[in-house]
């Protein structure tokens, strides 16, 4: 990503080019040129089943539209049909390693369903509010995918009450808010088991904020694995911080302050794990010799850490896809569950080199 890079093929065809010589060519233009009525052009071009036209007329219309470079105007169409066929995806921090997959899944599903997906940056408070107002309320999008773990119940209720076309990603809320969640509990269970199986007994948990749903679910998974292994979670063994590098760094320092020190830590996020690894290193602790580590969520980056980090790969692309599908169902009024847990593909642990036997 570094280099403002990417490989596009944006060659635009001659017709598209002609299309936007001002002023844009309209349906009426095509109709006039083809010698038919506007409505006929509209129906033919959309393959409307009510299009009654001879093959000859159809051909002439299409040819004319093509020649003139007709491109339908989205605003006019939206106004007429009262929907925009575009969906917004609101993301707290667009550059989160994790979101690439979510976006991909959502975008795939969106285009399969005939929507265009736009993502909005909700990294700042004002920005997120703005986005909701400008996008949803003003009708720029038909619905919104909300990726966030820290919505308060109050907030989501309001949002839903006010729009009814929002699906929340990975936030589990009692009640009727449409949601698609990943099995954080199981994922974290898996990660912790990995540590247990390697022989660790003093396993710490580098958790996210205690008031964040996803964070709590991950801690739950950690605890379940511990309990199953007959291990007790003593005070201080789980520390709560944010889901970012700096917090991971601080959290690891806290963990390392314990006596006796944990021999392994399960981090609830990749970014926190990155910070944590740096902290360990700074304390002269070497992974995996002195300390083992797994992190929740996978990304290419994990491969290049020092050492390569064992992670739990969650089905994030599927999360995005299913969220989009659920939103679509709701928009067209199809029945369907208002809450689903993505379980296929199942979370898997990606073994790299950060897990070893306990020292000593």
Partner DNA sequence: TTGACAAGAACAAGCGCTTGTTCAAGGATT
Partner DNA sequence: AATCCTTGAACAAGCGCTTGTTCTTGTCAA
Sheet with 310-313: strands ordered across: 238-240, 203-207, 264-267, 292-296, 310-313, 348-350
Q: How many residues bind DNA (CB under 7 A)?
A: 31
Nearest approach, Cβ of residue 282 and its own copies (Å): 10
Binding residues among 333-352 for DNA as defined by CB under 7 A: none
Residue partners of 172: CB distance under 8 A and separation at least 6: 179, 181, 213, 217, 339
Instruction: Using CB under 7 A, pick the residue from 15, 26, 165, 220 that binds DNA.
Output: 26
38 binds DNA (CB under 7 A): yes
State which residue, 69 or 231, has the beta carbon closest to its own copies: 69
Least separation in angstroms between residue 195's CB and its own copies is 18
Q: Please tell me whether residue 35 binds DNA under the rule CB under 7 A.
A: yes
Interface with DNA, residue 20, by CB under 7 A? no
Give the range of 45-53, 213-221, 326-334, 336-344 binding DNA by CB under 7 A: 45-53
CA gap 176, 47 in Å, rounded? 38
Place of tokens 């491969």: 303
Tokens of 111: 């285009």
Smallest gap from residue 230 Cβ to its own copies (A): 29
Q: Which is nearer to DNA, 45 or 349 (CB)?
A: 45
Count of alpha carbons within 13 Å of 289, Cβ hemisphere only? 5
- Binding-site partner at residue 343 among its own copies, DNA, none, CB < 5 to 8 Å by type: none
Q: Which of 313, 188, 192 is nearest to 262 (CA)?
A: 192
The reply on whether position 54 binds its own copies by CB under 8 A is: no
Q: Are 150 and 214 in contact (CB under 8 A)?
A: no
Please, what is the minimum distance in Å from the beta carbon of residue 137 to DNA?
11
Positions 17 through 36 that interact with its own copies (CB under 8 A): 17, 19-20, 24
Which x/- pattern, by CB under 8 A, does the window 85-114 give for its own copies?
-x-x--xxxxxxxxxx-xxx--x---x---
Q: What is the full DSSP assignment across 30-57?
A: HHHHHTS-HHHHHHHHHT-TT----HHH
Please give the residues from 266 up to 295 whose contact with its own copies meets the rule CB under 8 A.
268-272, 274-275, 277-278, 281
Residue 309 gets which letter from DSSP? P
Query: Quick one: which of 198, 313, 218 has its CA closest to 263?
Result: 198
Q: At closest approach, how far in Å is the CB of 27 from its own copies?
A: 13
- 79 is a contact residue toward DNA (CB under 7 A): yes
Residue 48 contact among DNA, its own copies, none, beta carbon within 5 to 8 Å by kind: DNA
Buried b (16+ CB within 10 A) or exposed e, 127-161: ebeebbeebbeeebbbbbbbbbbbbeeeebeebbe
* Residues from 132 through 171 that contact its own copies (CB under 8 A): 132-135, 137-140, 147-151, 154-156, 158-159, 161-164, 169-171
Nearer to DNA, 9 or 56 (CB): 56
Q: Which of 322, 319, 288, 278 is closest to 112 using CA atoms?
A: 322
């Amino acid at each position: 990503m570094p280099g403002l890079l990417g490989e596009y093929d944006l060659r635009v065809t001659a017709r598209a080019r002609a299309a936007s010589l001002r002023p844009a060519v309209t349906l009426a233009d095509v109709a006039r040129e083809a010698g038919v009525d506007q409505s006929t052009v509209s129906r033919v071009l959309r393959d409307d089943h009510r299009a009654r036209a001879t093959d000859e007329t159809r051909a002439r219309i299409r040819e004319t539209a093509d020649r003139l470079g007709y491109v339908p105007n989205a605003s006019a169409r939206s106004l007429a049909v009262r929907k925009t066929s575009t969906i917004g995806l609101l993301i707290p921090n667009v550059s989160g390693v994790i979101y690439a997959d979510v976006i991909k899944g959502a975008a795939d599903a969106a285009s399969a369903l005939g929507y265009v997906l736009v993502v909005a940056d909700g990294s700042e408070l004002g920005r997120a509010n703005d986005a909701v107002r400008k996008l949803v309320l003003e009708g720029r999008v038909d619905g919104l995918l909300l990726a966030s773990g820290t919505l308060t119940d109050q907030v989501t209720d309001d949002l839903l009450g006010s729009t009814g076309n929002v699906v929340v990603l990975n936030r589990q809320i009692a009640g009727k808010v449409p949601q698609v969640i990943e099995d954080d509990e199981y994922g974290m269970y898996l990660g912790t088991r990995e540590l247990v199986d390697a022989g660790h007994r003093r396993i710490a948990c580098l958790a996210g904020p205690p008031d964040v749903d996803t964070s709590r679910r991950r801690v739950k998974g950690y605890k379940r694995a511990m309990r199953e292994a007959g291990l007790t979670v003593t005070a201080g063994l789980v520390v709560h911080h944010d889901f970012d590098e700096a917090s991971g760094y601080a959290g690891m320092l806290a963990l390392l302050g314990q006596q006796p020190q944990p021999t392994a830590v399960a981090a609830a996020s990749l970014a926190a794990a990155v910070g944590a690894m740096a902290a360990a290193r700074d304390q002269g602790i070497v992974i995996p010799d002195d300390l083992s580590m797994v992190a929740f969520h996978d990304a290419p980056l994990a491969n290049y850490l020092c050492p390569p980090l064992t992670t739990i790969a969650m089905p994030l692309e599927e999360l995005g896809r299913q969220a989009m599908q659920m939103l679509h169902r709701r928009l067209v009024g199809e029945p369907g569950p208002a809450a689903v847990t993505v379980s296929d593909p199942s979370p898997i642990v990606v073994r790299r080199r950060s897990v070893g036997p306990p020292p000593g």
